[in-house]
Amino acid sequence: MSGSAFPDQEGCFSDRLIVSGDFAGDFARMRGDGWRVDEIYPADEPHSAILSGDGESVRLSSMPDAGEPSDRLPAFRAEFVLTRSAADGGEGRAGMRYRDLIPSRLGGRYIASHITIPGGGPVDDWVHYHGVAFQMIFVRSGWVKVVYEDQGGPFVMKAGELVLQPPYIRHRVLESSPGLEVIEIGCPALHKTFGDHEMELPNGIAQNRTFSGQHFLHSTVYDGDSGLMDATGGLANARIVSSARRFGPHDGELVFGFVLEGAGRLDFGDGAALGPADAFVVPPGAAWAIADASPAFRLLHVTTAQMPERIPAPPAKSA
């Protein structure tokens, strides 16, 4: 590691920039020495973080010249994407393995990740929240114990269930089964994760609370109403497709599919055979279909509406 000063918002050089050639290793060593995580990004293969301890703040980065996430959403770029299951994953936040399902990020508008925790057990996580416009998690296999702000005690998410994480809701991943697999979809692709060192979870229950116009949701996904449309105020929907079906053009933005199990064929363009853990994005203005679906075929199908221009502003802190 090499160190130098970096300016704060007032232009004062009071904190240090540590340029790292091994971000994951240096980050782990600093946390082991008692440094707290204030910010980190991106979630998949992080390269920059702000850590604090003993009245000092340090920026650790392996890419110090990379731009910071913005509150303005990048312009949506519609295109067809097909990602095969053999694609490699990388090490992400809290030791999770991230496989990128939309490498182009659709202009930086969306990120979709196939996240795994191979070993299971306690997760090295902390109370945190995300600067996002939309974020959902779906469990493909295994289970994970989580806790969320104002949602009561810890609970277990099982295969087939999703959680909507509204903007800025505090939460923490506590424990997982070996081989946990989840699909996470977020907007925008590049966003910050913030640590909250004051809030202890669980912190009680606040019924009907909204976070930037969205409600927390924990539900089972099936071929019908998952509750995501209501919880997001019409921003997103999710369903399970288990048979051959035709879909007309979508009038929103994201049209995403992830094969949970079984086999089928995507009828779009030249067509493509689909197998477990394959993922695709179809441009919203195009018709497409699933054909030749096997009896075991199950597809997670997620769509979004037109997104706002900016990430919602953080809520004001209570006095």
Q: Where are the domains of the chain?
A: 2-61, 69-311
Residue type, 251: D
Local structure of 106: helix, strand or coil = helix
CA angle 9, 15, 20 (to 5 degrees): 110
* Model pLDDT for residues 114-132, shown as the tens digit of each residue: 999 988 899 999 999 999 9
Q: Say if domain 2-61 classifies as CATH 3.30.720.
A: yes
Residue 257 vs residues 70, 197, 203, 276: alpha-carbon distances, Å: 27, 36, 35, 11
- For residue 208, the model assigns a pLDDT of 87
Cα separation, 66 vs 281, whole angstroms: 27
pLDDT in tens, 219-275: 999 988 899 999 999 999 999 999 999 999 999 999 999 999 999 999 999 999 999
pLDDT at 16 over 90: no
DSSP class of residue 149? T
CA 191 → CA 34, 167, 199, distances in Å?
A: 25, 11, 21
69-311 is classed CATH 2.40.50.140: no
Q: In whole angstroms, what is the distance from residue 101 CA to residue 24 CA?
A: 22
Beta-bridge mates of residue 205? 151
Q: What type of residue sits at position 87?
A: A
The size of the chain, in residues, is 319
Mean pLDDT of the chain: 91
